[in-house]
Amino acid sequence: MNIHYVDEGSKNKNTVLLLHGEPTWGYLYRNFIDQLVNNGLRVVVPDLPGFGKSDKLSQREGYTYEKYVSWMDTWLNKLDLNNITIFGQDWGGLIGLRLVVNNLNRFDNIVMSNTGLPTGKTPLGEAFESWKNYSQTVENFHIGGVVKGGSVSEMSQETIDAYNSPFPDDSYKEAARQFPLLVPDSVDNPSYEHNVQAWEVLKQWDKPFLCAFSDKDHIFKGVENSFIKYVPGAKNLKHIEIKDAGHFLQEDKPDECVNAILTLF
């Protein structure tokens, strides 16, 4: 599985790993990179398999939560990244937190944004169920349209086209269709036990764990409270609510997201 990534800044610096989620790709972080590099940081932005410029499978059943963790774990160790501050949004958190748990010594800081680590023990809410149903039934899965719909700010046609560009037809969208089905929304999900185990590790994490959630994301609203309650590293930090931003707060408020990351340096 070939994983495309952008790697900017000095290799001798602290590394910021930016992980996107559904149904975007590394383009989501285009407004982060220069700002972080100009602050003396190395910035690494991968495209998850099935998205962006990374390899895509022809059969959606080939995508599983555990395969994503394995693929990204292999990639992370191949690059031998260390002193990492991870910023994860949406599936970037579901996968990213599992990477942290598997590679504790590689990570220094965690920033989670509009994401969670569900175990299936509690309902994920009507907004997620509506999205899950939409993703499976809509005839034209319009990637750029989804990003626009999950953002508060205006979005140019050029930006919408850029989000669509790695997905020229439906055969390229198998991962985007499959992702919503992989979320552990019941204890019958095959990743249920893995996420329960990951939570047990996170309950011992005492390095900085910052929440930077937006005020207008209906899917993950309130999920940050679990992190703040159970993760020791989140206890004494001033968590950030990013105002006037939707699910894709990287589009709505990139500067505020970057500033949240920089509070840890």
**Angle ∠(184,189,195) on CA atoms, nearest 5:** 55
CA distance 55 to 75: 13
Residue 151 and residue 143: Cα distance in Å, rounded? Answer: 13
Tokens of 46: 């991968």
Q: How does strand 107-113 pair with strand 240-242?
A: unpaired
The active-site residue, picked from 47, 90, 185, 252, is 90
Two tokens, residue 180: 């919503």
| Peptide bond preceding 49 in cis form (omega within 30 of 0) | no
Q: In whole angstroms, give the CA distance from residue 126 to residue 18.
A: 28
Based on the number of CB atoms within 10 Å of its own CB, is 2 exposed (0-12), middle (13-18) or buried (19 or more)? Answer: exposed
Question: How many CA atoms, within 13 angstroms, populate the side-chain half-sphere of residue 148?
Answer: 16
3-state secondary structure of 175: helix
Q: Which of 217, 218, 239, 255 is catalytic?
A: 217
The sign of the CA dihedral 215, 123, 68, 98 is: positive
Tokens 């774990």 belong to residue: 73
Annotation says 247 is catalytic: yes
- Pick the catalytic residue: 20, 47, 185, 247? 247
The question of whether 217 is a catalytic residue gets the answer yes
Annotated active-site positions, please? 90, 217, 247
